[in-house]
Amino acid sequence: MKYCLSALFLLITIAGLAQTQCRSFEYRQQQLKANPMLAQTVATIEQFTSRQLSQRPVAVTGGTSGGTSSSSGAASGGTPSLITIPVVVHILYNTNAENISDAQVQSQIDVLNADYQKQNSDTAEIPSYYRSLATNCGFRFGLALADTNGQATTGIIHKYTTNSYFTINDDIKSSATGGDDGWDRDRYLNIWVGNFTGSLLGYSSVVGGAKATDGVVVLYTAFGTVGTATAPFNLGRTAVHEVGHWLNMIHTWGDDSCGTDLVADTPPQQGPTYGDPSGIILSCGNTPYGNLYQDYMDFTDDIGMHLFTNGQKARMLTLFAPGGFRYALLADTVPVDTATDAVSVAATESSASAMTIYPNPAVSLVTVQLTDPACLGGLLDVYNQLGQKIMSVRVTTLTLQLDVAGLAGGIYFIRASDGKKGAVGKLIRI
C-alpha cells in the first residue's frame, strides 16, 4: 500500500510539473545535493524551531493535524507584535514588457501587507469550518528607503539583462550571470522579478542557505495585481507563497504523499491542489473537512488562496526569536515606506530632478524646490531613518522652506505627493 501511495504521488508530481508552479522544493533538493553542509544547518534551524514551538502548543481545530506541535503566540520573549521587513525588488528585464512599473511593485507590497496581516477581503471565502484557523501573522512589508550604503533609494532596481530567461540556478541573483546582486539578507528581503523558462512561477531560497542568494524569485507576469499580472496568477499570491517559504513554511502536503508541513493545525493532504476548487476534498483521512486548499502554501490559483493558520504564524515567528535565523532583521534600522496612506510609493517613479533640496547638508533652514504642480495641495513629509514621520506640511507653493534646526544630525527622507504622484529626496542634517 505504501508503494502505491508513493507511485500516486509521483504521478501527481509529474502532472504538476506540466503546470505553472512554485519550484522551491526542487530548488531545495538541488541546494542540499550541491552543499552537504547545508543539511546540518537546516537541521539545526529545525531543532531551534521545534524547541520554540514546544513552549506553546496550538489547539488543533477544524481538521486532522498534519504536523507536530506549534504555537499561537510570539515564538519567544522579545519578538515584537508587528515585524517590519525592508524590501528591495530587483527587476531584470530583457524586453520592455518585462520592465514592470513601480506601481506594479507597490501593488505587490500592498498584497503582502494585506495577506500577512489578514486584511484581505476574501477571507469571507474561507469555509466556516476553517475560518477560525485564519490569523494575522504580524508582518509588515515596506520598500527600503535607504540602500546598503545609507543612500536614498526607492527600494526598486530596474536592470536590463541580455538573458532572455532565467531558471532555478540562481543566475538572476548575480550581476556576473546577467542578474543583480542581492542586498544584505540581515537587513533586507530581496525579491527578484524576471522572465523564466518552462512552468516556473517562482521559488525561494532555503532558510539557512547562502547569504548571497537569500530571497525569493517571482515571474514578472505573476507579480502584483496590475500591469503584466496575468490570470490566474494576477492577485499577488505567488509572492505571498514564496515569502512564506522564505519564512520557513513548507507546502501543505509536506512535499510528499500525505507528508507533514510540521504545522499542527493544517490537515494532511495527498498532494498539491490546482485551479480553483470548491467543496470538501478528502484525502489522507482528513475527515470531516478535508484539504485546506485555501491556504497560501498550496498550489491553487490566486483567487482561491485566503489564509495562513495560527500554527503557520507560530512557525514563522520562531525565525525572529532571539537566536533565530532572521533575528538580525529586528536589530537593523533600515527606513521603509510604511506610509502609503499619505504618500503613494508610485510617487517615486518620478525622476530625482522632480525635487531639489538645498543647502544639503543643512544646519537650520532648508529649501525644497518641486517641479510638479500636481504636488500642490498635497503633503510634504519628513521621515527619519526608522521610517517614522517627524514633520509634515501642506504644499501651497512649489518652493518651500523647512526649519530643521531642531532635528538631530543624520539622514532624513523628504517626500512630496498628492497621493498619486510626486517626488522623493534625501536630506543630510549636520
Q: What are phi and psi of 135, to 5 degrees?
A: -150, 160
What lies within 8 Å, CB to CB, of 163 at 6+ separation is 92, 94, 171, 172, 177, 178, 179, 194
Q: How many residues does the chain have?
A: 430
Q: What is the rounded CA–CA span in Å between residue 152 and residue 336?
A: 11
Q: What are phi and psi of 168, to 5 degrees?
A: -85, 20
Q: What is the rounded CA–CA span in Å between residue 339 and residue 383?
A: 10
| Per-residue cell: 245 | 517559504
Coil, strand or helix: which one is 169? coil
Coil, strand or helix: which one is 367? strand
Q: What is the rounded CA–CA span in Å between residue 228 and residue 276?
A: 21
**Burial environment of residue 26 by CB neighbours within 10 A (0 to 12, 13 to 18, 19 or more):** middle
Residue in the block written with cell 513601480: 102
Nearest-5° angle of CA 52, CA 284, CA 131?
A: 60
| Per-residue cell: 349 | 517613479
| Per-residue cell: 407 | 532635528
Residue in the block written with cell 506594479: 104
Q: What is the rounded CA–CA span in Å between residue 377 and residue 362?
A: 26
Q: What is the rounded CA–CA span in Å between residue 205 and residue 216?
A: 6
Active-site residues, by number, are 242
From residue 327, give the alpha-carbon distance in Å to each of 84, 135, 407.
12, 22, 30
Q: What are phi and psi of 178, to 5 degrees?
A: 90, 5
Please answer whether residues 203 and 222 qualify as being in contact, where contact means their C-beta atoms are separated by less than 8 angstroms. no
Q: What is the rounded CA–CA span in Å between residue 81 and residue 110?
A: 19
Q: Which spans in 78-182 are helix H?
A: 102-116
Nearest to 145 by CA among 389, 330, 357: 389
Rg of the chain over Cα atoms, rounded to whole angstroms, equals 23
Q: What is the rounded CA–CA span in Å between residue 309 and residue 116?
A: 11
